Structure formats: C-alpha cells, structure tokens
Structure 1
C-alpha cells in the first residue's frame, strides 16, 4: 500500500498533518495550523510544490 497524508488535531488543539508510510509508520509531521482546512491546504501545497523535491544537504 502507498503512503498517505492525513490531517489530525494535536493535544494542544492545533491541526497538523502527518505522512504515513504504507505500513502505517509516521515518517513526517507538518507544522501546527489553527484550523483543519489550513492543515489540508498545507497538504495540498506539499503535493503541488514538492512532488519530486530533491534532497539538499545543508552544511553547518
């Protein structure tokens, strides 16, 4: 099964989204949003703007 993005409400009452692998493991979590619709907009932004984003090393 493919991974999925899902919005959820955190313990502080903020909305976030998480990326789950096909096995159900959470592999990424988005920032906090004030509403579920804002979190859903974040999901759509990820899908639209980074479908094939490269991995870039940042030296520090």
Structure 2
C-alpha cells in the first residue's frame, strides 16, 4: 500500500511525495508555505489521480518521459521522476492511480 510522506525542505517549505508499497517515489510535490496547504495538495492528488485526463504525459529535453498530475484548475500538483521508457512512465501513472486514493499520510515534520 502506498503512502504520502510529508517533509520539510531546506528553505522551510513543506512538500509531499507519494511512495508505492515498495518505497519508491512515484510523485513529488511543489513546495508549500504551510502544512495545511501541503495536506490540501495530498487531497488534490487523491481526487485528481482518478481521472486519466489529469495526467500530462511529457518528454524532457533529454528525451526521457515523465508526467505531471494537474488539478482541475490546471495547476501542477505533482511531478514524476524521469523514466527510461514510455511504458515505464505509463506504469508510473497507473501506480499513482492505484496507490493515491487509499495511501496513508506519514508526517516527518513533527
């Protein structure tokens, strides 16, 4: 089962990462100024990850595939790692869809 891990950046901002059951990060967030905003981001991932059209399938300048998950307002709420193949990226998207709705939240900032 997946989990969201909330942590603090060096600049004091909060961030979350969604990790699969094997511990691998499958989605990382932007920085948030408050923990409440970060938790709202987690809820947004839970909701938006269930709609395939919310995933932007992209290619980096170096040719590696990756994806962004966007909210209904078009704002990016999470970005994946760079993948070696389109198939791997698509597996990453499926993993987010599967893990996000029931993922627990682990707060490492306390």
Same fold (TM over 0.5): yes
2 CA distance for matches of 1:16 and 1:55?
24
Q: Which has the higher contact order (CA 8 A, sep 6+)?
A: 2
Point out the structure with the larger helix share.
2
Point out the structure with the larger strand share.
2
**Structure 1 residue 43 corresponds to structure 2 residue 75:** no
Map of 1:9 onto structure 2: 59
1 CA distance for matches of 2:86 and 2:68?
13
**Following TM superposition, by how much is the alpha carbon of 1:56 offset from its aligned partner in structure 2, in angstroms?**
1.6
Moved over 6 A (4+): none
Matched ranges for 1:20-59 at <5 A = 20-59=70-109
2 CA distance for matches of 1:54 and 1:46?
13
- Number of paired residues? 59
Cα offsets for 1:6-56 (capped at 9, x unmatched): 221011211111100111111110011011111010000111122222322
